[in-house]
Structure 1
């Protein structure tokens, strides 16, 4: 894997999230209004899809910190694939911000 693949992953995450959540906007099982991502809401309430992707982004971020910390203390040399979780986390968090801008009418600004 090279740096171009990392760039592709970073670009795909927000666009893919926008497409997936765009389908959820028209899904009749989805809540009428979505809450902004919050640690106080259930991430497994599938009527509120932003919560699940928010959790997923932070899981990827935690994985990235562990992988990079392990690389820092081990004799293994740096490899590009170690940055995949970090790139995915930042792409998903950026995608969540993009979703709140594009589908702002669907977002409830209190939780």
Structure 2
């Protein structure tokens, strides 16, 4: 379920530039809120399953570091994309693509770990 909600978060963000009415943006807000809320709330459980109890603290630290780097670099990168293209479409697509790529990586990690064990 974690992988699916992470993918939904990314895809819904990628679709954000084509949402041209208040109702569609409200639907986006609900879909994004529920899917990202679920993803955030079960991250530690998924890390425990993937990494085990021995590596949980290191994995949570790396997640926090990655999130911090994204929080610091994301807004200036989005601003650069806006300045370059003159549209908010590219920043939304880049943000959605990075979340979708993360979901694909989690799909691949779980698939590889199942095939190797």
TM-score, normalising length from structure 1? 0.40
The structure richer in helix per residue is 2
TM-score, normalising length from structure 2? 0.38
